[in-house]
A and B are shown apart, each in its own frame.
Chain A
Amino acid sequence: MSTTRQRFDFGRYNFILVPFIAGGLALLVGAVIIWLLGANPIEAYIGMVQGALGSPNAIADSLVKAGPLLFVGVGICIAYRGGVINIGGEGQIVIGALATTLVVLTLSGLPSLILIPLALAAGFVGGGFWGGIAGFLKARFKVNEVLSTIMLNAIAVQLMTFLLNGALMDPTSLDNSIRIPQTQRFPLWTDLPRLIPTRLHAGILLGVLIAVLAYILLWHTTIGYRIRAVGFNTVASKYAGINVGRYQILAITLSGALAGLGGAVEVMGVNHRLFTDGSATGFTGNAGFNGIVVALFGALHPLGVIPASFLFGALLTGANTLQRTVQVPGAFVTTLDGLVVIFVVASQIWARRRATRHAMPELPPQDKIVPASTT
């Protein structure tokens, strides 16, 4: 036990290892389910790998799927380092995409050199605003951010559905009275440039750049230093003259902004329009939640999120092809996704519990030491 204690103390290695073990276990459970469904698990998983990485197109698809995960995941890292749990990725993606859509549709006359950055910025600001609301509620009224972000998710999706069924609905579909809840296709000059003749677009590069910038922010600037100080210890931060509430708001605002940027990249790079499939999450493909798992996979480090998002993107793409290669129902993709989420999140909670339990002797009980003025 004491050897594990040290490993958890220097958690770096474990934080990387634990999610992989958990992910492997999830795939193992997935294999049992495939077998129960009457298919061959080995064949299925081989098919999955081929579907994800077997051709340039497959790889491009995996990378495209990784895009929003990368943006959200990096955002989750920033929030986490600031001691804020952001469950609101879904809503922030949606609001970011909505803001982008509004800019593109109203300013479509502008040249792409101006319009594309402007539209991306709109997504960034929109998502940041949505995250900022939760941050404000936390800092000002002590509203738990887990609750507020979940509620904000619901509000965002309702707002999008409402707009897509009304003001933003594709005029041609209004004429034809088919009424599909989606906007018209964006002007061609707002498409993000393709990298190679596949679906792969420049948004992925932007994501990698953002991850590097987030790393620099967190570990090379005083702003990131303060975010991390607040995340570890609010009392000591206050003592150091740091405005705790302000940096909590900043952390989740940045987190939301990156999710919003992910939404912007998704509509401008992949779909070229905003639509909803009517599900609880709309068009996000669950990236707001999967991004959390990706962040955990990446050891809650922006640079770790880069490979983690590619891995998870490949998993999702591969699982999508399962339906075709072996006879399993389409819903299995969701099942596998859910299994990985549960295993990875649970393993992290377990690892953290262990770590804090072993660190206990040095820690006085929290409620004893927090001065009244901070509660």
Chain B
Amino acid sequence: MPIQTVELRNISKRFPGVLANDRVNLDVRAGEILALLGENGAGKSTLMKILYGMYHPTEGEIAVNGQVVQFKSPADALAQGIGMIHQHFQLVPGFTVAENVALGLKSSRGPLTDLNVVSQRVRELGAQYGLHVDPNALVWQLAVGQQQRVEILKALYRDASLLILDEPTAVLTPQEVQEFFGILRRLRAAGNALIFISHKLYEVKAISDRVVVLRDGRVVGGVATQATNQKELARMMVGREVITQWEKPAAQARETALQIDKLQALNDKQLPAVKEVSLQVRAGEILGIAGVSGNGQRELAEAVVGMRLIRGGSVRVNGKDVTHHSPAQMIQAGVAFIPEERMVMGIVREFSVAENAILITHTEPPLSRRALFDFRAVNTHVARLVREYDVRTPSLETPVKNLSGGNIQKLILARELSRSPRVLIAAQPTRGVDIGATEYIHKRLIEQRSAGTAVLLISEDLEEVRALSDRIAVMYEGEIVGIVPPTTSVEELGLMMAGAKKDS
């Protein structure tokens, strides 16, 4: 039976040192989109993982269509019609779309596969909801937005009628978000229930029917989306007014700190991704790179810091040639990097908060002397970082994989900014970060720049790029199509991001 209502009653979840959910009551009905808002670490993902059977609640119960149910695993939740699309996809890259959808299901032909049947149904579902993907395409060849569709198709194929979407838009380009919202509206019209998590208030305002706000694991409010505005939502979330725009002091740009000349690099598929890119970033300025993701920004950043092979061109830091230098040498040269792939590149998941906080600097005194750690010094240092950047963690010994996504990002930022680098390359620094923390990170980036750091900011968020940058370079298909002032309108930037050259 399709889902009419799902209720979470008095749900609590305790982890060592944290009460992630504290007597939460929540309900969602067929035909509505419920948005779940809350700061980093408020307990949103935990609550959703309980609903999806991945965690057992410490207390409380779940009722589907009025019947109390017990989930031992996600399979039980799926059997009741509850599906979840994680922020990090669980697809087999070497399999086709149809194979991924069929994975783990019984075939109608016994031991033989029934991929034709699956493909047929995938096409039907695709046509019904606007989830267009070729069932025979290999998953690794698909863009991120399409992979997300495959995840949704997997859930729908298993007859899910409540879809949980945990920060689905964090990985999408603005255009993809619009298409994605179209899909959500069609799913809602067909009588599905949807739970949507995002840190972007305008998205919540645009797509949801109802908003529930969590703070410190508790529900602090619920409103009809119609009856509220972004400002009020922000206040409910953070508990105070949030400034989203503020004056930044004029740039005091000095000598060129980072000089990139005709740089070339390949992407993971070994195709040219960075094509003769030339850029200069001066000490004391923020150069923003705007562009739809997948146009070579990630490869550019990785090539500059030595994480990716340079196929041509050169990189200079403070006039010194550092082309082909290793990441270790780049660190020595005073370059800091906040990577886009933060869960894999930026941290060691199994390491503790303290161990991750000293990932780059662990060989420097006073943290260690002659290879021996001074744990007192380490703890003092890390405790200060955690306090200053408001990283919410039960303890410094907690494995980083147990932190919420936004808090992991804050930890990386704390680590990289505290080194007072000469050059900072920040890729999507506020992706998945709540509005309060975003405000804070923006403030710190501007402080760094005013203190004389050359900042290369890569972001898909045009508002962010315009608010922070002193100059904006627009990247399209591996090339810089133009460098414009931050006062350039969003429309004009949009055109350039689509490849229109700027004559100047």
Query: Which A residues are within 8 Å of any B CB, using their own CB?
Result: 1-3, 5, 10, 220-223, 225, 228-229, 232-233, 235-243, 358-365, 367-374
Contacts and interface: CB of A to CB of B under 8 A. Distances in A.
Contacts of B56: 2-3
Given A239-B337, A361-B88, A233 B328 contact: no
A236 B345 contact: yes
B346 A2 contact: no
B328 A232 contact: no
Interface in B52-106: 53-56, 72-73, 86, 88-94
Contacts of B337: 239
Contact of B359 (A1, A236, A367): A236
Contacts of B90: 360-361, 365
Given A220-B373, A225-B362, A241-B331, A373 B307 contact: yes
Interface stretch (B107-115, B127-135, B172-180, B264-272): B264-272
A362 B345 contact: no
A359 B328 CA distance: 30
B140 A368 contact: yes
B488 to A, nearest CB: 32
Interface of B: 16, 49, 53-56, 72-73, 86, 88-94, 140, 266-268, 270, 302, 307-309, 326-332, 337, 339, 341, 343-351, 355, 359-360, 362-363, 368, 371-373, 401
Query: Which of B91, B329, B349 has the most chain A CB atoms inside 10 A of its CB?
Result: B349
Contacts of A368: 93, 140, 268
Given A222-B363, A233-B349, A361-B86, A367 B140 contact: yes
Given A361-B90, A365-B92, A229 B348 contact: yes
B89 A364 contact: yes
Contacts of B345: 235-236, 239, 369, 371
Contacts of A228: 351
Contact of B93 (A238, A363, A367): A367
A221 B88 contact: no
Contacts of A370: 268, 344
Contact of B326 (A241, A361, A365): A241
Contacts of A373: 302, 307-309
Contact of B55 (A2, A221, A232): A2
Given A235-B345, A239-B337, A361-B88, A371 B372 contact: no
Interface of B is mostly: loop
Nearest to B57: A2
Nearest to B369: A222
A372 B55 contact: no
Given A229-B348, A241-B331, A373-B302, 18 more contacts: A2-B72, A3-B56, A5-B54, A225-B373, A233-B344, A237-B348, A239-B327, A239-B359, A241-B327, A241-B328, A361-B49, A362-B343, A362-B401, A364-B344, A368-B140, A372-B268, A373-B308, A374-B307
Contacts of B92: 365
A232 B331 contact: no
Contact of B344 (A1, A2, A241, A369): A369
A2 B343 CA distance: 23
Given A222-B371, A239-B339, A361-B54, A371 B351 contact: no
B302 A232 contact: no
A241 B330 CA distance: 8
A222 B367 CA distance: 10
A240 B327 contact: yes
A241 B341 CA distance: 16
Nearest to B344: A369
Contacts of A2: 53-56, 72-73
Contacts of B140: 367-368
Contacts of A361: 49, 54, 86, 88, 90
B349 A232 contact: yes
Contact of B266 (A233, A235, A365, A372): A372
Nearest to B147: A368
A12 to B, nearest CB: 12
A232 B400 CA distance: 13
B373 A221 contact: yes
A223 B49 CA distance: 38
A239 B331 CA distance: 9
The 4 closest A-B pairs by CB, nearest first: A241-B328, A2-B56, A373-B308, A364-B88
Nearest to B358: A225
B39 to A, nearest CB: 19
Contacts of A369: 341, 344-345
Contacts of B266: 372
Contacts of B401: 359, 362
B93 A232 contact: no
A293 B267 CA distance: 42
Contacts of A10: 16
Contacts of B307: 238-239, 371, 373-374
Contacts of A240: 327, 359-360
Contact of B373 (A222, A237, A364, A371): A222
Contact of B88 (A1, A232, A242, A363): A363
Contacts of B372: 220-222
Given A222-B368, A373-B308, A365 B93 contact: yes
Given A222-B368, A365-B93, A373-B302, A229 B351 contact: yes
Contacts of A222: 362-363, 368, 371-373
A232 B308 CA distance: 20
Contacts of B329: 241
Contacts of B347: 236
B349 A362 contact: yes
Given A239-B345, A360-B90, A372 B351 contact: no
30 contacts: A2-B54, A2-B56, A2-B72, A2-B73, A5-B54, A220-B373, A221-B371, A221-B373, A225-B362, A233-B350, A235-B341, A235-B345, A236-B348, A239-B337, A240-B327, A240-B360, A241-B326, A241-B330, A241-B360, A243-B326, A358-B54, A360-B90, A365-B91, A367-B93, A369-B341, A369-B344, A369-B345, A371-B345, A372-B267, A374-B307
A334 B263 CA distance: 62
Contacts of B86: 361
A372 B267 CA distance: 7
Contacts of B341: 235, 369
B502 to A, nearest CB: 30
Nearest to A220: B373
A364 B90 CA distance: 7
Contacts of A367: 93-94, 140
Contacts of B332: 241
A370 B371 CA distance: 29
A1 B86 CA distance: 20
B327 A238 contact: yes
B426 to A, nearest CB: 14
B344 A236 contact: yes
B355 A372 contact: no
Nearest to A225: B362
A146 B332 CA distance: 35
A190 B389 CA distance: 60
Nearest to B415: A240
Contacts of A358: 54
A364 B270 CA distance: 20
Contacts of B55: 2, 5
Contacts of B16: 10
Nearest to A223: B371
A225 B355 contact: yes
A165 to B, nearest CB: 45
Given A2-B72, A235-B344, A362 B88 contact: yes
A318 B267 CA distance: 59
B54 A243 contact: no
A226 to B, nearest CB: 8
B324 to A, nearest CB: 11
